[in-house]
Homo-oligomer: A and B are copies of this chain.
Amino acid sequence: MPTQGQVRSANLATVLARLRDHGPRSRARLAADTGLTKATVSSLVGELVDRGLVAEGELHRPGSVGRPGTLVELDGRGVCGVGVEVNVDYLAVLVLDLRGTVRAERRLAVDVAGTPAAEVLVVASDLIVETLAAVPGTAVGLTVAVPGAVQGGVVRTAPNLPGWPGLDVAAGLAGTGLPVTVANDADLSALAEWSAGPHAHVADLVYLTGEVGVGGGVVTGGRLLRGSTGLGGEVGHLALTPGDAPCGCGRRGCWETVVGLGALLRAAADPGDPLRDPGRDLEDRLAEVVARARAGDARTLAALTDIGTGLGVGAAVLVALLDPAVVVLGGYFAHLGEFLLDPLTAALAARVDAPGRVALSTLGFTAAVRGGAHVALQPVLDDPTTVPHVRPALEAHA
């Protein structure tokens, strides 16, 4: 039921989205792009400038007749969104401006699993405030990425974060003064892949992340697949190999028992091997795996091939069902991609006719926070009038 003001909001959002997705351009170009008239676009741009969301850039007109246009571009000094990731052994914060540029990034080693959740929230809150202090713009929102199932803003289950299910995260972060959203980390990572990087705006993509378990996020038709209870896109416990190894979830044959980090390390190293020391930093251990594989260690290579094949078997199901344009591998899959891709694509090609392209994430471990920051910015992109005027409109009368 659009009313007049909503028309205005929608058109402001259209202009803003155009500038974000297609770069700076003149008012006249915006008018041609959107179908609105030049006069209307002028008015819209004026309002966006007043709200600090866009700014006029330099004149630009390379070698063509006619008056050159004034470029209009997103104003990065305006608003920004905050993504926070809570994981087993670290907290991460990333601040993104409207342009999609990273304005700040912090990472803090915290034994989240072994610390009371309330305390973690205090640490996180401090970290956020501290990070924002160094960023000029105004933060408009905060999204918390959690490795677990989230439903209606509440953590339902989080196998690796005892104490988090049911926790009121928003209340714990109220000190930041920002509206708080909570979401699944893999879902946010999928949105991050969708919003930036080589697969930006690929309407149908699947993101798979290898951690202790396996996380998944599905974007279909340009929207995140959520499902009826928010559990859509969870791939870790797909029952692909009945009767296989027992899973932490109490069942058997879940996909993550095949391709999770534990499966890799067990196959690649004996119990005493430093690779299987949970105290060592994960990236160090992954680097060690890469080193051994490059050195030609047979056991390591065999383990990686098995993982790759297991990934291909599962990916085949995802591709057949969801028909994504690309399957993006993140987490440890991305680190070890060079050894996984060949067996993966072989297993995939054996099972589906038109395999979606498989690619490695380029966002690394920042995918979830980046997606979170992106989500935090979304309300502004949907309705720019939520941002107050910085340069107030002139008062017409006393």
Contacts and interface: CB of A to CB of B under 8 A. Distances in A.
A240 B239 CA distance: 9
8 contacts: A1-B11, A2-B6, A2-B7, A225-B225, A227-B322, A229-B354, A233-B323, A251-B350
Nearest to A231: B323
Interface in A335-356: 350-354, 356
A155 to B, nearest CB: 16
Contacts of A353: 249
Nearest to A18: B1
Given A227-B323, A233-B323, 19 more contacts: A2-B2, A4-B7, A204-B227, A228-B324, A228-B356, A229-B323, A229-B354, A230-B323, A231-B323, A232-B321, A232-B322, A232-B323, A233-B321, A234-B320, A235-B320, A238-B320, A239-B313, A239-B352, A251-B351
Interface string A219-246: 0110101111111111101111010000
Given A1-B14, A34-B1, A351-B251, A321 B324 contact: no
B220 A227 contact: yes
A387 interface: no
Interface string A350-370: 111110100000000000000
A224 B111 CA distance: 42
Given A35-B1, A35-B3, A204-B227, A321 B352 contact: no
A203 interface: yes
B354 A36 contact: no
Contacts of A4: 7
B317 A225 contact: no
Interface in A309-336: 313, 316-318, 320-325
A10 interface: yes
